[in-house]
Amino acid sequence: MTVADPDPVDDVVATIARSAAEIRQGLVGRRGKADEENPSGETQAEADVWADELLANRLSSIDGVGEYASEERSEIIDTGDERVYVAVDPLDGSSNLKSNNTMGTVFGIYDEPLPAPGSALVASGWVLYGPITTMAYARDGSVTKYELTSGERTVVEEDVTLPDDPLVYGFGGRVPHWHDDFREYVREIESNPDHKLRYGGAMIGDVNQVLTYGGIFAYPALKDDLRGKLRLQFEGNPIAYLIEAAGGRSSDGSQSILEVEPTDLHDRVPLHVGNTELIDRLEDAL
Ligand code: P6P
């Protein structure tokens, strides 16, 4: 009987899940600022640098992983392998460290060298460091939710889809910097008595609320920054891939995030994800 080659996608996801408890514990004592900035010009927390090093060492050592890239480092680690290419936001929302609010690890697994369009993703997901540690994972058009405890992964929900009736909304950036069309759209969302504001300062916590309750999260194009704030490779694509696998939509304002052609590893993208009806209405409004 021939033994199938190990699947690098499974190995990457299992390694991230196994590392989650250690990353969560490693946040303790690393909440200060590092002396460095990331390639997006943001001051790094000690935990950003530490989590990136931990994941870089473990993920780039996996047989089949050709590249490791992260929001925290300007250069790609090239292993010479050529099967999958991994992009990671090691700690999304590390500004929440000081206030002990939710943060996460976001990952995208591509089948093309980076930077790559989201259409080249074969899997994506995130770990959420909330009251408990959970993972949401998308592959082959299906989303699974896990609880993570001391390196073990327990399935808690399969074939996850966004609820039909949207409940939560959260929009990043300062209101005076929103384009007028976007501001009008937000007013419409806010005027619906069934909708609740949920904005926690870490995209991944807000997006996980959209996945759980239905709704919309956006960090839009701004008057003073047309590309918004969030990174295409490490945040936009993985989030869009999972939300679309859960039956929702993503948009950069006019098309699926997954169709955006990257020009640079650290490209930013206006990000809008959530229930299809809300994203369709957003594109009509912009
Ligand atoms: P603001 C965290 O720094 C992050 O990249 C996202 O996780 C989050 O959605 C956004 O920035 C928050 O940005 O401008 O509200 O502080």
Domain 168-285, CATH? 3.40.190.80
Contact between 93 and 201 under an 8 Å Cβ cutoff? The reply is yes
Task: Kindly state if the Cβ of 172 falls inside 6 Å of ligand 1.
Answer: yes
The two structure tokens encoding residue 48: 């950003």
Task: Kindly state if the Cβ of 58 falls inside 6 Å of ligand 1.
Answer: no
Q: What is the pLDDT of residues 78-87, one digit of tens each?
A: 999 999 999 9
| Atom nearest to 206 CA in ligand 1 | 9
Question: Whose CA is closest to atom 3 on ligand 1?
Answer: 93
| Atom nearest to 92 CA in ligand 1 | 7
For a mutational test of ligand 1's pocket, the pick from 88, 92, 216, 231, i.e. the residue with the most ligand atoms closer than 8 A to its C-beta, is: 92
Report how far residue 188's alpha carbon sits from residue 181's, in angstroms, rounded to the nearest whole number: 11
DSSP-assigned letters across all residues of 42-87? PEEEHHHHHHHHHHHHHHHTSTTEEEEEETT-SSPEE-S--SEEEE
pLDDT tens, the chain, 286 aa long: 677 788 999 999 999 999 999 999 999 999 888 888 888 888 889 999 999 999 999 999 999 999 999 999 999 999 999 999 999 999 999 889 999 999 999 999 999 999 999 999 999 999 999 999 999 999 999 999 999 998 899 999 999 999 999 999 999 999 999 999 999 999 999 999 999 999 999 999 999 999 999 999 999 999 999 999 999 999 999 999 999 999 999 999 999 999 999 999 999 999 999 999 999 999 999 9
C-alpha distances out from residue 268 to 40, 118, 197, 204, 231, Å: 9, 13, 24, 16, 4
Q: What is the pLDDT of residues 16-28, one digit of tens each?
A: 999 999 999 999 9
Between CA 260 and CA 226, with CA 240 as vertex, the angle to 5 degrees is 50
Query: How are the residues of the chain apportioned to helix, strand and coil, as percentages rounded to the nearest 5?
Result: 30, 30, 40
Task: Kindly state if the Cβ of 95 falls inside 6 Å of ligand 1.
Answer: yes
Report how far residue 82's alpha carbon sits from residue 55's, in angstroms, rounded to the nearest whole number: 19
Task: Kindly state if the Cβ of 203 falls inside 6 Å of ligand 1.
Answer: yes
Beta strands in 111-181 (DSSP E): 121-129, 133-139, 142-149, 152-157, 168-171
What are the sequence ranges of the domains in the chain?
Answer: 8-157, 168-285
Exposed / middle / buried, residue 98 (Cβ in 10 Å: 0-12, 13-18, 19+): exposed
Report how far residue 82's alpha carbon sits from residue 59's, in angstroms, rounded to the nearest whole number: 14
Task: Kindly state if the Cβ of 219 falls inside 6 Å of ligand 1.
Answer: yes
Task: Kindly state if the Cβ of 201 falls inside 6 Å of ligand 1.
Answer: yes
Architecture of domain 8-157: 2-Layer Sandwich (3.30)
Residues 188-218 as b or e (16 or more Cβ within 10 Å = b): ebeeeeebeebebebbbbbbbbbbbebbbbb
